[in-house]
Structure 1
Amino acid sequence: MQPEMPNVMTVSVSHIRHALQESYSVQEAANLSRIVCCEMLGQTAVDYYLGKDMILSPKEMQDLDTILARLRNFEPIQYVQGTARFLERSYHVAPGVLIPRPETEELVEVMLKEVPSGARILDIGTGSGCIAISLSKMLPDAKVTAWDISDTALRIARRNNEALQASVCFVQRDVLAYVPGSGEWYDVIVSNPPYVTESEKQEMERNVLDWEPFSALFVPDNDPLLFYRRIAELGKGMLASGGRLYFEINRAFGEATATMLRAQGYTNLRVLKDISGNDRIVIAER
């Protein structure tokens, strides 16, 4: 008696690419199909670029259909995968936290060159925890605390902290309402707060607007420095003498942010550009 053949199905790379071209440009569809085939379905890069068919089980085929449906609905690939890379580490991400950006990597890289190894560091608006955890891992003598208002974000950040064996202390806190207590001192406060103005929505892609958390992205048009101003106010009572603020900013408000910080009494202001030549980082000293 012949052995029963396993119940398998074949699917082609071109099928996946064409399915995604309904919603994406040819180049975007090619990039996404490579991730789906090689990183999610286990196809080798050689087989992918040769256009070889994949043999999938019914369960794998069902998973592929789900992946393609989510991508056609403009869900970011990082959410579909459940991971995003940040400074060579993988972080769990899901709707409810921002997907880490290369500009934020640049912010952390600047800090790693300047922040003392044993510094007391506060990360405000931590999201997935990528800033705080990176600093904790690369400055192992530092004491790193991270705040976020969101239960979802803190749950994800704590999961990443445990998975990456970092030692960040996470606290649920609303920075706009918080009144600091005595004895709460830091050498560094870092923040990548909401900074996209509501009028900039029309310039943004659906995979950001429809999926990433509104509260972590947007500020009112009439108060674009809302979070920076509040953090600067807190910093005057929470930063040790000579302590620094490190901000990631909206490229349109570099000088405005620096001017606001000077008015609050901060010194040694620097506005740094990102790799694309846009104002992106502001550093100030108490």
Structure 2
Amino acid sequence: MTPGDQHCRLLAMMTVVPDLPAIREAFAVESSRVAQRVRAADRLDTPVPGLAWTVGQVTAHLCTVYQSFAATMRGEFAATALDDVIAPGRTLPETVAAANAFAVSLIEYKGQAEAADALAAAAAELIEVLGKEPDPLVSCPAPWYGPGRTRTVGTLASLAVSETLVHGHDLARAVGRRALPNVEAAVLVAPTVMSEMLPLLLDADRAHGFRGSFEIRVRGGAAFVLRISDGQVRTAPVDGQDVDCVVSMNACSALMIGYARQSVGHAVLTGRTLAFGRKPWLGLQMRGLFLTP
């Protein structure tokens, strides 16, 4: 057994444990939809609105995500694989940006058909791994989030769907279509993604001196509690204890806000996000306490 295999078999606690069979099904549907959008694109060098990437580069990014997640779930991705690319001390967004830039620079497609085929093949790898019904609580190396970082199988599976939904939206805009993320798929993954990734994204400077608690309710999905105190954050299942603010969120908006595709103000004005409780104004402050991935 390799060190990577041993690392991959460590068990972790999760605040919201996802339904892996349902996530596998959603991923199969959504990744196929994204591959079709790539195949239908006029050009791979078309800029993606709001991003510094082209259609081809977004495709390369998704391929890398699918392949890396599948490999680490199989115990085949070394924890030190990105040591020459990322550096200790960086924030999570800085680390992810460096890892993404490196991975995307290694891939180039000859045309839309080749790019779409590559995306479908990479998705098939992850679908195969998830089809073996791995334990969602098993931790795997995830060095693209920083040296020594790990994430559970359940978190990675949920992230694969969220990346597909958000970048599928990006690609739809690039080819002149309007396509919001599938809300049923978003409901499956948003609670896990938020509860597992927000602790890594806390902006310690902005959160310094802040003390507050939130109950995050993803409409149609699971809820969890987020407690922030003096630059530290932890998540926990809803336990009946009082919280300062309850935030009710549409699942698609939860992902779109998290990935900086939608503002909190827009979500509030359209009713997609609602805050209430003894300190409802904290709902408008919460997003500013976290970095954008």
Q: Same fold (TM over 0.5)?
A: no
- Compare relative contact order (CA 8 Å, sep 6+) and give the higher one, 1 or 2: 2
Q: Quick check: which one's helix share is greater?
A: 2
Larger radius of gyration: 1
TM-score normalized with structure 1 length: 0.26
TM-score normalized with structure 2 length: 0.25
Q: Quick check: which one's strand share is greater?
A: 1
